[in-house]
């Protein structure tokens, strides 16, 4: 493994650590009642405040990355998360627990833009395919979601205190590893070199410039919809499966989610090695999610739901990869990498806040209605994407070398795809990193 591979491995380890934090607390929810006297409201706030702090901190983290250095921001942010984890281990009352979770969420929100900015710098410096690296990122994210409950379940005898103190130490070590993983400022590359060149931007006559934040919002909006649907299913599927389970409902629920997340992780890894145009990826993702969601309404039997959920999770993985490749390949964001990633992450995370509320509200109507409504919504988004693509010629699929290309010698063989995220009428094109 070369220097680029070692750095990438450290970066992916941080992604696993960050995403495991979302789920590691779940097995310890029953302990909170006895440990800190947490009732239902406190338990809900324990998760809601963490998610809210993480979402709100991402734009701040993006601004910080652009003003300083991604490697230093990543290190300090992960150390902040480590402090929050340690405080969670020490908490013996509700107020301390909630404050610790806010601190934890702030640290993980600040680090997210630094990880993405660090990834683009790493791909640029070592000539790594951005598409492949993003596929690895997605697989690492899913691995983190699976690892959280698994580690927590195995470590139950150690208790919340022992597990979270260990987690704080691991997080602090990861923070130091990020300094080695993320390249420092490259003196050979100036901001002027990274700004879009209006001579090659392909501005259409009479068209207005498209700002980086417009595309960050659009891509973030698509990602928010993706997360909204998935987070709506998290409370829906367990209840739905319990109505059709002929065996243990808990076993059926676990099997369905593990199978779906496994498909998602494998799909991201595979799709990262096939650089399809982003508009094509988005269309495939929305079409597959529509089919998977509508199929769930056919039967509550866990085999039928499991098969439908795996189909849906393939579409989810495709959309997850599409939006992140899009924001990475956005040349308009290259002079504002951090702010673009921060704004994207903030909008995206709103889906995790709204999803459970939407899912539960729909389930009050009927146990099958939520899947049909969510599937129809995916279909409408697909139609809107197709209509906008016809109107503007391209939305996510203009051909252009990927970001990883510039880091390779002229004439060298490349395995990267040719995709873009800017319409032909816009004033910017994808960066050749």
Domains and CATH numbers, the chain: 3-183 (1.20.1250.20), 200-407 (1.20.1250.20)
pLDDT at 300 over 90: no
pLDDT at 83 over 60: yes
The chain-wide mean pLDDT, for the chain, equals 78
Q: How many angstroms separate the CA atoms of 306 and 298, rounded?
A: 12
The model scores a pTM over 0.75: no
pLDDT at 263 over 90: yes
> Tens digits of per-residue pLDDT, 211-228?
777 888 889 999 999 999
Q: How many angstroms separate the CA atoms of 362 and 111, rounded?
A: 34
Dihedral of CA atoms 389, 401, 218, 8 in degrees, nearest 10, equals 140
Question: Which of 126-135, 152-161, 267-276, 397-406 shows the lowest mean pLDDT across its residues?
Answer: 397-406
Tell me 426's DSSP state: S
Q: 266-282 b/e with 16+ CB inside 10 Å = b?
A: ebbbebbeebbbbbebb
Both tokens assigned to 239: 């209840």
Residue carrying the six token digits 């929100």:
109
Neighbours of 298 (CB within 10 A): 12
How sure is the predictor about 395, in pLDDT bands with cuts at 50, 70 and 90? very low
Average pLDDT over residues 73-98: 93
Average pLDDT over residues 11-40: 79
3 state SS of 331: helix
Is 312 in contact with 286 (CB distance < 8 Å)?
A: no
> Tens digits of per-residue pLDDT, 358-384?
888 888 888 788 999 999 999 999 998
Q: What percent of the chain has pLDDT over 90?
A: 27
Of the spans 119-123, 224-228, 341-345, which averages the highest pLDDT? 224-228
Both tokens assigned to 312: 């849906």
């Amino acid at each position: 493994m070369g220097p680029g591979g070692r750095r990438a491995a450290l970066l992916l380890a941080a992604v696993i650590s960050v995403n495991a934090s979302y789920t590691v607390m779940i097995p310890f929810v029953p302990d909170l009642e006895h440990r800190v006297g947490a009732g239902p409201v406190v338990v809900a706030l324990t998760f809601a405040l963490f998610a809210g702090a993480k979402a709100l901190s991402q734009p701040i983290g993006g601004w910080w990355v652009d003003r300083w250095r991604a490697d230093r921001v990543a290190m300090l942010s992960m150390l902040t998360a480590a402090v929050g984890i340690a405080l969670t281990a020490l908490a013996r009352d509700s107020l301390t627990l909630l404050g610790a979770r806010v601190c934890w969420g702030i640290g993980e929100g600040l680090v997210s833009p630094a990880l993405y900015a660090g990834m683009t710098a790493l791909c640029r410096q070592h000539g790594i395919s951005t598409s492949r690296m993003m596929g690895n990122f997605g697989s690492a994210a899913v691995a983190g979601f699976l690892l959280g409950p698994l580690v927590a379940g195995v470590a139950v005898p150690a208790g919340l205190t022992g597990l979270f103190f260990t987690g704080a130490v691991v997080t602090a070590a990861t923070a130091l590893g990020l300094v080695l993983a993320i390249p420092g400022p490259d003196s050979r590359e100036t901001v002027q070199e990274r700004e879009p060149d209006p001579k090659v931007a392909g501005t259409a006559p009479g068209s207005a410039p498209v700002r980086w934040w417009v595309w960050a919002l659009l891509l973030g909006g698509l990602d928010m919809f993706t997360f909204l649907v998935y987070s709506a299913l998290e409370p829906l599927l367990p209840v739905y499966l319990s109505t059709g389970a002929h065996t243990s409902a808990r076993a059926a629920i676990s099997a369905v989610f593990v199978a779906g997340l496994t498909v998602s992780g494998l799909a991201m890894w595979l799709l990262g090695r096939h650089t399809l145009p982003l508009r094509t990826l988005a269309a495939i993702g929305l079409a597959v999610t529509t089919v998977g969601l509508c199929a769930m309404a056919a039967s509550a039997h866990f085999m039928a739901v499991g098969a439908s959920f795996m189909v849906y999770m393939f579409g989810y993985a495709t959309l997850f990869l599409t939006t992140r490749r899009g924001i990475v390949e956005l040349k308009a964001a290259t002079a504002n990498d951090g702010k673009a990633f921060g704004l994207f992450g903030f909008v995206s995370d709103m889906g995790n806040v709204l999803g459970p509320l939407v899912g539960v509200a729909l389930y009050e109507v009927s146990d099958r209605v939520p899947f049909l409504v969510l599937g129809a919504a995916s279909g409408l988004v697909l139609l809107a994407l197709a209509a906008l693509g016809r109107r503007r010629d391209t939305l996510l699929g203009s051909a252009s070398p990927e970001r990883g290309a510039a880091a390779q010698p002229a004439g060298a063989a490349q395995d990267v795809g040719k995709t873009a995220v800017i319409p032909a009428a816009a004033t910017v094109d994808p960066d050749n990193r």
